[in-house]
Structure formats: structure tokens, C-alpha cells
Amino acid sequence: MQLVTTPRVSFLRELADEILGRYGRGRMIVAIDGPVRSGKTRFADDLADVLRERGHRVFRASMEDFHRSREAQDAFGADTAERYFRYGFDESALRRVLVEPFRMGGSTAFVLAVFDPARDTWVQPKWVTGPADAILVLDGRFVLRPRLAELWDVRIALDGEPLDPADVLAYAEADPRRTASVVVDDGDEAHPRRV
């Protein structure tokens, strides 16, 4: 499907061409981080659409769908910004049911979501498969933290100052803009630009 050309789509096409030119064939994971309300989910959706336009099989996932339950988080102490930053997401499940099977290149199925944070409940896993050449676009808070950063082929950080207390902690520990392959100012969604 051909997308309508706008300044945003033109920017994303250039970014997609750069990503595809660098990584070529096989399974690739693009991770997009940014502070709360930076627009990372919309940016990831739009980038996925442009990669599809380029003829690639693209899967979308979000860290929001890999939360730990409130009960599981309670095992790590009082409900604080630090607890959320350090233990709010089930990184083991992310690795076990999404990243590792996705990396197997089509020989096994993977799961794009395990948890519904709005209802604080696990969801029935839907196992999906794809071709050997496929791209996973993952967005979410803290996806570029040091213990996860090595999992991604392309690391994109949306520019913006952290305001939420958990983001302030995350950025103090490791600012994702420093480890990103690409930093994007998406403050004006119609006209994103590289930083």
C-alpha cells in the first residue's frame, strides 16, 4: 500500500531506507524509546507502516504489553517510581516469548503481548509466525536501558526531557539518547527531524 506523501512520511521513508540499507535481510528488531508522552507508540506505528510500504513483513509490539502484574510488582516493595522503573516490566517474558523465538528466523512462533496493564491481567497468548526475513518494531519506556540495549539491531530514541519520576530515574542512570543509533525530535509530529 502506497502511503500519502507528507513531510512525516518522507522523513520516515529516509529513515526506513537507512535501516534497510544497513541491515538487509533476515530478522531485525527496531526498538524505540522515549519519555512518557513523547509519541513513541505513534512513531513506531508510522515507521512500521513505511517499512511495510517497502515490501517487508513487519510485526509490532509494545513494552506496555509486557508489564508485570501489580501483585508481582508488590514483591519488590512499596509502589514507587524506582520500583516501577526497575521492576515494572517482565523482561524475562519479553526475552522468552518474543525476542528469542523471533530471532530464530521462522523456525518457531513468538508472542507479541502477554499482559493487559489496564485490566492488570494476563492475556491469552497468540502465537504467530513469520518469514525468515521479517522486522519487529518494538516501542516502550526503558527499552534502551543497558540490560536490554544489546537485543536490538536499531535503537531509536525520541528526544525529550524526562518529566515523569520513573523517567527521571531512567535517564539519570542511562540516557537512551546516548546509546541510540538515531535520535529523533518528534515534538512537531508533522515535521520530525534528526537530532
Residue with grid cell 515534538, as numbered in its chain: 187
Give the percent of the chain with pLDDT over 90.
94
User: Which domain range does residue 64 map to?
Assistant: 7-184
pLDDT band for position 108 (cuts 50, 70, 90): confident
| Count of domains for the chain | 1
Crossing angle of helices 7-23 and 40-53, rounded to 10°: 70
> Does residue 56 lie in a domain region?
yes
> Does residue 62 lie in a domain region?
yes
Distance between CA atoms of residues 158 and 40, nearest Å: 7
Give the predicted TM-score (pTM) of the model: 0.95
Q: Which CATH number characterizes residue 72's domain?
A: 3.40.50.300
> Does residue 189 lie in a domain region?
no
The predicted-structure confidence for 153-182, as pLDDT tens digits, reads as follows: 999 999 999 999 999 999 999 999 999 999
